[in-house]
Amino acid sequence: MRYFVGIDSGHTCTTAVIADDTGSLLGMGHTASIGTIREPADAERGRRLVAEALVTATKMANLENAQFAVACLGLQGNQKVMESFLEPFIPVEHLIFSVGRRLALYSVTMGKPGIVVAAGTESYAFGRNELGEEASTGGWGLPGGDEGSSTWIGQMALNTICHSADMREDSGRLLPALLTHFEATDLQHLLRVTLESGRTRADMAAIAEVVSKEAAAGDASAARLLRCAGTELAVLSITLINRLNMADTGVVVGTTGDVFRAGRTVLHAFRARLKKAVPGAIIVAPRLPASVSAALIAMEFLNITPDDALTERLQSSMIRLGTSKY
């Protein structure tokens, strides 16, 4: 029996999974997010967090002394730095790396052609066509990009309430809702709290959560912002589909990230815009989390085909291990 490791470090946590060559998940471990590793100074924290996640997974799998066949790491940062601190640490025959965008694509297509559109604190589309060509759109970060992300929604919400103060548009209930959430006394105070004190992606994402709640409660201005987000995300995917010459192929388009999970408004707007441009697009949800996608890529490295039967075993194992969020 051969064993495989998949590790993903997203914005919220680091997850390690262990699978065997039949597609059964045997163990899983979680710890804090490593973040982006660029310098050797980041290595010690990264090593410690990967160790914590992997130890938990190996204990659950009862494989503390196992030699792994392949480990695939979907981490952010400099690959040479990651290799230097991880290769001696993980007992593995082959250590490979994959960008997070490819993990997201595998979570939808299991390596087959298609695209994935991700909308969390950042937004991007990534895809692969029948020729094996890969490309991406978006992900440039604010102010240059990330349209449709929670960060972008937060920024647009602040723009809207400032425009409303100038009587340029109606912001509905957004201002009182945001004042309450941030315990601010007025618009100027709110802007100081959210901008002048050092805006972060998390701050903007918190604003987006307020927008989603107000949209669900029937606020028209909040709903309009979410529709705009859905449309922007559709444009990302349409641009990529055309770049990869997939518009006439019945392309599979996966949607992932907290923005798509915020309610139907975003997804409805996304679907309407995408279907208008690419009628044959097949919109789906992910079938696997990124950490399991990493394990799948590790298996593929040794020519284990990620077919439907293997995917179904991975999904069944996820339920047994008590995880389903992706």
Q: Please state whether 113 falls in left (phi above 0), alpha (psi between -120 and 50) or beta.
A: beta
Handedness of CA 51, 33, 38, 302 (dihedral sign): positive
Answer yes or no: do 298 and 279 share one domain: no
Q: Which residue carries 């028209």 as its tokens?
A: 220
Could you tell me if residue 12 is inside a domain?
yes
Residues 249 and 223 in one domain: yes
Residues of the chain above pLDDT 90, percent: 44
4: part of which helix (H) or strand (E)?
strand 3-9
Distance of CA 50 to the CA centre of its chain: 19
Please report where in the chains the tokens 């990651």 appear, as a residue: 82
* pLDDT of 38 above 70: no
Copy the structure tokens of residue 85: 């601190």
Give the closest residue to 61 by CA, choosing from 325, 287, 320, 316: 320
Q: Which residue has the higher pLDDT, 325 or 21?
A: 21
- Domain match, 223 and 302 both: no
The answer to whether residue 166 scores a pLDDT higher than 60 is yes
Q: Per the structure, how many domains does the chain have?
A: 2
Residue that is written with structure tokens 């804090």 in the block: 32
Asked whether the predicted pLDDT for residue 280 surpasses 70, the reply is yes
Looking at residue 207, its pLDDT comes to 87
Rg (CA), the chain: 21
Residue 165 lies in a domain: yes
How far apart (Å, rounded) are the C-alpha atoms in residues 101 and 124?
8
Given this model, what pLDDT does residue 80 score? Answer: 64
Question: CB under 8 Å to 62, separation ≥6 — which residues?
Answer: 26, 27
Q: Is residue 73 part of a domain?
A: yes
Q: Residue 106 domain-assigned?
A: no
pLDDT, one tens digit per residue, over 286-306 is 988 899 999 999 999 999 888
Give the residue with greater pLDDT, 46 vs 214: 214
Low-confidence winner among 9-18, 105-114, 256-265 (lowest mean pLDDT): 9-18
Q: What is the pLDDT of residues 182-225, one digit of tens each?
A: 888 888 888 887 776 555 667 778 888 999 999 999 999 999 99
317 and 172 belong to one structural domain? no
The predicted pLDDT at position 326 comes to 46
On the 0-12 / 13-18 / 19+ scale of CB atoms within 10 A, 217 is: exposed
Give yes or no: residues 77 and 162 share one domain: no
- CATH at 24: 3.30.420.40
Q: Does pLDDT of 95 surpass 90?
A: no
- 201 in any annotated domain: yes
Q: Do 124 and 213 sit in the same domain of this protein?
A: yes
Query: In this structure, are 147 and 269 located in the same domain?
Result: yes
- In the block, residue with structure tokens 């604010």: 142
For 152-246, list the strands marked E by DSSP. Answer: none
65 & 120 share domain: no
The answer to whether residue 105 sits within a structural domain is: no
**292 and 282 assigned to the same domain:** no
Report helix, strand or coil for 9: strand
**Torsional class of 252: left (φ above 0), alpha (ψ -120 to 50), beta (otherwise):** beta
Is residue 280 within 8 Å of residue 248, measured between CB atoms? yes
Do 100 and 8 contact (CB within 8 A), yes or no?
A: yes
Q: Would you tell me how many other CB atoms lie within 10 Å of the CB of residue 77?
A: 18
Same domain flag for 145 and 87: no
- Residue 22 within any structural domain of the chain: yes
Q: Mean pLDDT throughout 51-72?
A: 89
Specify the range with the lowest mean pLDDT, choosing from 68-72, 74-78, 101-105, 231-235: 74-78
The residue segments making up the domain with residue 31 are: 3-100+288-321
203 shares its domain with 228: yes
132 and 238 share a domain?
yes
